[in-house]
């Protein structure tokens, strides 16, 4: 039986009961992170915890102790016999009877659990299909908030279309996927939307840009259009769970010849090396 954490206690999953007055339950009033574990070791833990604290601060949940968060998920990893997986951690504003205004004196509530997870090797080799849709989300997408209804609906749109992901755009300018960041290669230059309030600055996104710099791949944090997406030489999506996944089709149209591109391959190799250098995968 897995061990999880809720509101100050480690318990077996079947022993955990979530308080219905937890504001995460009825308002989605909180933030979260997902951290990968490879061969029983964290990958980019510090970056995820920095973003969790920053997201909490953005929605005025203050006073989180970063080291306490790290201690919780470290203990969680040690209490579960899962060598390759992911840890989900969320922070809600607290427990209080339902009222839109912030509750006075409520303490943040932390929930964390761990699941087994394998690398998406087949998708990373063969690529995936994506569709596109209008981005109607709120204007604080840089906050990794629990408010994911629009993202959920757009992911379902992809599933119903037989695709892997929905990539969003505002007035024809591509922002990000429902659960991913998006990159293209155009005229040999790697491009992705700048890290502003319209996208989540993904941790894997940041790693990709580091790899591009290390490998001397020209890149730009510059927005691109739907037309540029569909005419790109290469397209790939990134996230903590999907790593670096090439895109073979956009709205049913092949990306180049539909196979993984050279720059995508180089980025994947660089990402693998970052994992191996930390002895996270044997």
Whether 277 is catalytic: no
What global pTM score does this model have? Answer: 0.95
- Quick check: 196 pLDDT over 50? yes
The active-site residue out of 2, 77, 140, 144 is: 144
Q: Look up residue 262 and give its two tokens.
A: 């050279």
- Quick check: 282 pLDDT over 60? no
| Phi-psi map region of 94: left, alpha, beta (phi>0 left; psi -120 to 50 alpha) | left
Q: How far is CA 201 from the centre of its chain?
A: 9
Q: Look up residue 32 and give its two tokens.
A: 């979260």
β-bridge pairing 243-250 and 253-254: antiparallel
Separation CA 205–CA 195 (nearest Å): 10
Q: For 37-60, what is each residue's pLDDT tens digit? A: 999 999 999 999 999 999 999 999
Q: For 127-151, what is each residue's pLDDT tens digit? A: 999 999 999 999 999 999 999 999 9
Separation CA 252–CA 150 (nearest Å): 23
Q: Is 37 helix (H, G, I), strand (E, B) or coil?
A: strand
């Amino acid at each position: 039986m897995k061990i999880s954490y809720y509101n100050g206690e480690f318990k077996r999953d079947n022993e955990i009961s979530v308080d219905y007055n937890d504001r995460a339950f009825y308002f989605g009033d909180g933030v979260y992170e997902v951290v990968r574990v490879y061969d029983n070791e964290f990958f980019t833990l510090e970056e995820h915890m920095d973003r969790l604290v920053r997201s909490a601060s953005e929605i005025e949940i203050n006073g989180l102790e970063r080291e306490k968060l790290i201690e919780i998920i470290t203990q969680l990893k040690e209490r579960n016999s899962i060598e390759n997986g992911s840890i989900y951690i969320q922070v809600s504003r607290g427990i209080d009877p339902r009222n839109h205004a912030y509750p006075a004196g409520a303490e943040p509530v932390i929930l964390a659990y761990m699941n087994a997870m394998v690398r998406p090797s087949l998708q990373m080799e063969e690529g995936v299909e994506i569709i596109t849709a209008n981005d109607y989300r709120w204007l604080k997408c840089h906050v990794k908030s629990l408010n994911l209804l629009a993202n959920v609906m757009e992911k379902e749109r992809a599933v119903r279309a037989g695709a892997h992901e929905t990539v969003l755009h505002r007035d024809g300018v591509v922002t990000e996927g429902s659960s991913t960041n998006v990159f293209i290669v155009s005229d040999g230059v790697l491009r992705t939307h700048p890290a502003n309030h319209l996208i989540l600055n993904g941790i894997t996104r940041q790693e990709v840009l580091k790899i591009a710099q290390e490998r001397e791949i020209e890149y730009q944090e510059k927005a691109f259009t739907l037309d540029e997406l569909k005419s790109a030489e290469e397209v790939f999506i990134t996230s903590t769970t999907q790593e670096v996944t090439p895109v073979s089709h956009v709205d049913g149209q092949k990306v180049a010849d539909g196979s993984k591109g050279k720059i995508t391959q180089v980025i994947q190799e660089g990402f693998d090396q970052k994992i191996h250098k930390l002895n996270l995968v044997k």
